[in-house]
Chains A and B, each alone.
Chain A
Amino acid sequence: MATTGNNNLNAKLVLLGDMGAGKSSLVLRFVKGQFLEFQESTIGAAFFSQTLAVNDATVKFEIWDTAGQERYHSLAPMYYRGAAAAIIVYDITSTESFTRAKKWVQELQKQGNPSMVMAFAGNKADLEEKRKVTAEEARLYAEENGLFFMETSAKNATNVNDVFYEIARRLPRAQPSQNPAGMVLVDRPADRSQAAKCCS
């Protein structure tokens, strides 16, 4: 869930889509401005954070990549839990990846929260000559299902930042927090715990 404070939003964003659609590449382009032609499965890093300033607020995205757990449909419910936004990615040169992306949308509608902002990204838009999925077909599907649609290219950076900015703009602002948030355990000495220790 997006949590707010002084116009600062924290928003968990999850990526979904088939292996090879370019999920990790989109994140790497957005977070680090990089593109690797031979991107191996992301090992050791599947959790990024990046802050964006939109008109009225700063949005800190906590971006969760699938870590390969989508391959055998073994993504845990935890992955979807509390997500304020999702990007469903397919490869415009693969009809199969488009079909599977629609399955991921259904899965999200089942598992995710109803107010989630969903982006539908047709990636690899630079490979126009190999295109198998038309932009119109995808746009129509996205509109019918309440997603916003963009074609992206992680390789030449087309529309990548735009997807994230559009999500940031669409995130609901004053979200009533249904529960006081829990705490995240961190690796850092806390002053108060030391103060609390001397009790006699």
Chain B
Amino acid sequence: MGPAEDLFFTVYKLPIYSPWLLVSYSSTTTFYVSKSYLIMDVEYDVIVLGTGLKECILSGLLSVDGLKVLHMDRNDYYGGESSSLNLVQLWKRFRGDNKPPEQLGSSKEYNVDMIPKFMMANGALVRVLIHTDVTKYLNFKAVDGSFVYNKSKIYKVPATDVEALKSPLMGLFEKRRARKFFIYVQDYEDNDPKSHEGLDLTKVKARDIISKYGLDDNTVDFIGHALALHIDDSYLDEPALDFIKRMKLYAESLARFEGGSPYIYPLYGLGELPQAFARLSAVYGGTYMLNKPECKVEFDANGKAFGVTSEGETAKCKKVVCDPSYLPDKVKKVGKVARAICIMSHPIPETSESHSVQVILPQKQLGRKSDMYLFCCSYTHNVAPKGKYIAFVSTEAETDQPEAELKPGIELLGPVDEIFYEIYDRYEPINNHDEDHCFISEASFLSFLYYYVSYDGTTHFESTVQDVLAMYSKITGKVLDLSVDLSAASAAAEE
């Protein structure tokens, strides 16, 4: 290539407070280069665009691996669509003005997630947090309750053999059958064939193991959707292993923090997570630039990404990681999500006064094709002022009328102070990263506000993390081993 590449440069480290770097080549010539100039001038291993949760986790993992990372966002705040908004930001977005009603309290005390999700206490995201030591930047609290909607009523989700016997969800004989099934699941260990009871779960279908225990449809409905967290019924015809593992994850997560649910949630909202991973990336040398307009990915003649241009400067890189909003030509729409965000002054009725709770409404209970989720969180997680609750209702949209579609969920909330409706599209990458060196997180596109969203409609983090881990492997050719950390994970109360 050009002669410049043949020159041998040595960069001398000057004191950190120097804005200059001393560079020499051919041992006779030295000159100073502005550090800020070099920010755009060096070649990065990876440029990450967008500071959503997935992008920030990846940025952190890649920086820790020693890769040179530049991370940019067109917004002047972290989190993209996974940020948490204060009241003024919420009003700006949904009501087009800056004046939320005074009786709702201080704007600053609100941290309203745009993509609310609880984390499985024993799940993959917790493993990533512990693996990377990002936990030290975050405070979590257990979620009070996990409920399921059944025949127009809300019930606590029974997750163990003992709870099954107590649950009013089932009749007397069904309870005993469910108890036996729960014991089978609790005892099942991959490497202990005795616990398999002669069944090869990689071959036996979920449907068949359910009929072996004689469970009725009602029981299967809450186990499949509220415990195994399947979003539809297609799992019934898949090998049962995944179904059993999901049930085990739920039960083990429930046992971890002795809360009323298997979920945990960060104080101040989910928007803390991308910030924490961004800090991890920065601590390991990642460079952060917010408020960078455009962020146009540049491609060479072969269609391979070689850099990103913003404000007339092009930073070069080997690979680009981004959410779909930065490469709209390389994604396709795969669905849409309807959601309602509500501010309330009471907990969701019939949830034992839980200050944080998830209620799953299985598809069949509503005559739908996909489940609906209620999520509620409050001042106890520092996401609202004292006495206020934030509730969400969301589902994979089957119509264009979120208000009508979400009605069964909204009706369970009781009176609300304020309610906002939204429909957004979900997108998936269609590019070939071997050719274009672009790695796009699976995401969604908000149809009318020109916003993108990086999550599917489900309410826990497992799918988010799977996508991140798959992207990590594609980018680095390595597998992130998180298995060791799981059994060691626990929590310490802050002094």
Contact = CB atoms under 8 A, between A and B. Distances in A.
Interface of A: 3, 5, 8, 10, 19-22, 24-25, 37-47, 67-69, 71-74, 76-79, 81, 91, 179, 181-190, 192-193, 196-197, 199-200
Interface SS majority for chain B = mixed
Q: Which of B279, B382, B487, B492 has the most CB of A within 10 A?
A: B279
Interface of B: 13-19, 77-78, 126, 129-130, 133, 135-142, 160-162, 183, 186, 252, 255-258, 266-268, 272, 275-276, 278-279, 282-285, 287-291, 379-380, 382, 485, 487-495
Given A185-B126, A197-B252, A10 B283 contact: no
A78 B283 contact: no
Interchain residue pairs A-B with the least CB separation, the first 10: A20-B17, A182-B139, A190-B490, A76-B275, A67-B282, A74-B288, A78-B275, A181-B494, A185-B135, A183-B491
B495 A189 contact: no
B289 A74 contact: yes
A72 B285 contact: no
Contacts, number: 163
Contacts of B15: 20, 37-39
Given A20-B19, A73-B290, A74-B289, A186 B161 contact: no
Contacts of B382: 179
B489 A78 contact: no
17 contacts: A5-B495, A8-B495, A39-B15, A47-B283, A69-B278, A74-B289, A78-B272, A81-B268, A91-B17, A179-B382, A183-B493, A184-B492, A185-B491, A186-B135, A186-B490, A187-B489, A190-B492
Contacts of A186: 130, 135, 489-492
Nearest to B290: A74
Nearest to A97: B17
B84 to A, nearest CB: 9
A3 B379 CA distance: 19
A182 B356 CA distance: 14
A25 B15 CA distance: 11
Contacts of B77: 77
Given A47-B136, A183-B141, A76 B279 contact: yes
A3 B495 contact: yes
Contacts of A43: 283-285
A101 B283 CA distance: 22
Contacts of B267: 179, 182
